[in-house]
A and B are shown apart, each in its own frame.
Chain A
Amino acid sequence: MNENKKSKKNNWIIIMSRLVKNQFIYNLGKAVLVSFGVFLVMFSLIRFIPGDPVDMILGDSATEELRAEYREILGLEGSVFEQLKTSLGNIIRGDLGTSVVTKQSVNSIVKRALPPTAWLIIVSLFISLLLAIPLGLLVSLYRGRWIDKVFQIISSVLLSIPGFYMGLLLILLFALKLDILPVAGYKPGFPENLRYLWLPATTITVVMAPVLARVLQSSISNTLEQEFVETAIVRGLPRQNFIWRYLLRPSFAPTINLLGYMIGQMLGAAVVVEIVFNIPGIGTTLVIEGVLQRDYSLVQGIAFVFGIIVVIISFISESISAWLDPRGRSS
């Protein structure tokens, strides 16, 4: 009987290890666990600070009723375990809570602020890829020559210019001196909003395109060292045929993997860029309504949304890159 139990346990281990070996299920499991981690980080944030968070918002002179109200909004009632249970339940139901300052639901605030940010990211991503793919290919074909060295130095310098400064320089040049694009602001609706998005998207692109090009370059260089590439060169395949089938396709897997990470970093850069260009997106809301007015529940809700978006995007990009290049399974 003991043996039977043991073999049952062994069966389970075999099934589990087969499941984990499936890249898709491994990624999905990881995404769910990290999402829970993102929730835990946001949950513990206001509970770690010394002192009472309600005191920090209201000061000492507030009435007991007001305190109770804030306590309820922030989910600080009952034991820590009960608080954890309630807020996990709320998050799973998709309820991000209520803003302490405006008393609006955080869901409605996020829903209002998300479209401009999404547009900004999509346009930036499009321009970045349009620039990065040819650039990455160019510098990897001329690796070690002066084009490559100039690119390395220029990209280091571009990476060192903060987004908010680059944005202001672009405003100064294109909006104030040349007067061809609006200084700042935003209008919803597809073709009209592009006019307001060119400058902010360029700002993000200046930082993102060199990074993407560098990664593409290093992954193309890795591919170049593979035997099948050498064989293709020896076989004397036509150049354009060779570049696409033997160089770019296998090199895209790590690039797409990184793209997931880059979209996350773009979301961070978007916060500053939105403020510079006065775009009413989620970053502006986070800073102006959340940080400067000390709206704890709004900050928690928005940061959680940012974290979850990044987890979902990296899950998608990891799955795509595993599908593109099944050899590159990360253990």
Chain B
Amino acid sequence: MKNQKNKSFLKSLNIEAWFGLIILITMVLLGILVPLLSPYDPLKSAGETLLAPCKEYLFGTDHLGRDIFTRTFASTQLDLILALIGVSAPLLIGTILGAVLGMTRNIFVSWIWMIIIDAINAFPFLVLVIAIVAIVGPGVQGLLIGLAAVNWARYAKMVRTKTLTLRDSEFIQATNVLGYSRLRILFKHVLPNVYPVALAYGLSDFVLVIITISGLSFLGAGVRPPTPEWGAMISEGRLYLQNQWWITVFPGLALSITASGVALLANGIMRRIEGED
């Protein structure tokens, strides 16, 4: 039954979403298979420094003689996993908190929370993440804390709005009459009805999170070199832009292609949910 449902879901996707899905799967496969495809180590010198792209080194080598091809696809897994955590942590926190805030009848509590949520949303996304990373400390840990601490507010606001419209519907009223506990109403009746909104937003949020993670690494506040990561690699290659463009261009290309794959997939799914197409 479930299989059938999945099949019809895949079938119903439009060309845009299929295109995105294929891009994404290709990038993930390349990321997993890169140790088989390339004889070089992403962290060790593979030959001469600053070699232009050629047969042995498809994307060339960097200032330390490392193979750019190996490093570019070695980054895929790290970036995607970080983005997955960076999306799912705030998604979970924001959805539950938003549902609780939507259900509460205490005006004072919900007002205070709404002011905090609006204030967090008022900051430019990147600026507040940077501020939190500055205070928690640069690095992967700071990056993920920063993303979660800022992004939950968007989900909470959206889910709260959705919950408010749900709260006065008849079936929720009925659970009140039946005398179910608040927790049961929240987890069994409210959350199953509001989470699709958050999930759909989370998908399009994925692009923003990938870009933010590599952006912070580019600024020196995220993943640190020598770990292969797109933003950090671009930051290293920047100094050689004039004569050795390949150090910068290839990691950036991989990053942009992956992000557009996610964006196309998200767009396609969003349209299907909205019932266009």
Contact = CB atoms under 8 A, between A and B. Distances in A.
Interface string A144-156: 0000000011001
B275 to A, nearest CB: 15
6 contacts: A156-B267, A162-B256, A172-B241, A291-B130, A296-B135, A306-B123
Contact of B263 (A160, A162, A307): A160
Interface of A: 30, 33-34, 36-38, 40-42, 45-46, 49, 53, 56, 152-153, 156-157, 159-165, 168-169, 171-172, 176, 264-265, 267-269, 271-272, 275-276, 286-287, 290-292, 294, 296, 299-300, 302-303, 306-307, 310-311, 314
B127 A34 contact: no
B136 A271 contact: no
Q: Which 9 A-B pairs have the closest CB atoms?
A: A37-B119, A268-B124, A160-B259, A268-B126, A160-B260, A165-B252, A303-B131, A291-B134, A37-B115
Given A160-B207, A300-B131, 20 more contacts: A33-B115, A40-B119, A45-B131, A45-B132, A153-B264, A156-B260, A157-B260, A157-B263, A160-B256, A160-B263, A164-B231, A171-B241, A176-B242, A264-B123, A291-B134, A291-B138, A303-B127, A306-B123, A307-B127, A311-B122
A45 B135 contact: yes
B32 interface: no
Contacts of B220: 287, 291-292
B241 A168 contact: yes
Contact of B264 (A37, A156, A276): A156
Given A287-B221, A292-B220, A294-B134, A163 B241 contact: no
Given A165-B255, A292-B220, A303-B131, A156 B122 contact: no
A36 to B, nearest CB: 7
Given A160-B207, A162-B211, A163-B215, A169 B252 contact: yes
Nearest to A309: B124
Given A159-B263, A168-B252, A271 B126 contact: yes
Contacts of B249: 169, 172
A38 B221 contact: no
Contacts of A56: 137
A15 to B, nearest CB: 19
* Residue of A41, A162, A172, A287 with most partner-chain B CB within 10 A: A162
Contacts of B215: 162-164, 272
Contacts of A311: 122
Contacts of B115: 33-34, 36-37, 40
B101 to A, nearest CB: 15
Contacts of A286: 127, 130-131
Given A33-B115, A165-B252, A292-B220, A41 B241 contact: no
Interface string B234-277: 10001001100100110010011001101110010000000000
B125 interface: yes
Contacts of B211: 160, 162-163
B116 A40 contact: yes
B118 interface: yes
Nearest to A153: B16
A160 B116 contact: no
A303 B123 contact: yes
Interface of B: 16, 115-116, 118-120, 122-128, 130-138, 207, 211, 214-215, 218-221, 231, 234, 238, 241-242, 245, 248-249, 252, 255-256, 259-260, 262-264, 267
Nearest to B126: A268
A266 B221 CA distance: 20
A273 B137 CA distance: 22
B219 A291 contact: yes
Contacts of A160: 207, 211, 256, 259-260, 262-263
Contacts of A307: 119, 122-123, 127-128
B126 to A, nearest CB: 4
A75 B128 CA distance: 20
A299 B130 CA distance: 9
Given A40-B116, A152-B16, A159-B263, A299 B131 contact: yes
A165 B235 CA distance: 10
B238 A268 contact: no
Contacts of A164: 215, 218, 231, 234
* Residue of A42, A152, A159 with most partner-chain B CB within 10 A: A159
A162 B214 contact: yes
Contact of B124 (A45, A153, A172, A306): A306
A324 B262 CA distance: 37
Contacts of A276: 238
* Residue of B136, B219, B234 with most partner-chain A CB within 10 A: B219
A303 B133 CA distance: 12
Contacts of A36: 115, 119
B77 to A, nearest CB: 19
A160 to B, nearest CB: 4
B124 A267 contact: yes
A58 to B, nearest CB: 14
A46 B136 CA distance: 9
B123 to A, nearest CB: 5
A168 B238 contact: yes
B147 to A, nearest CB: 14
Nearest to B257: A160
B72 to A, nearest CB: 13
A46 B135 CA distance: 7
A169 B252 CA distance: 9
B211 to A, nearest CB: 5
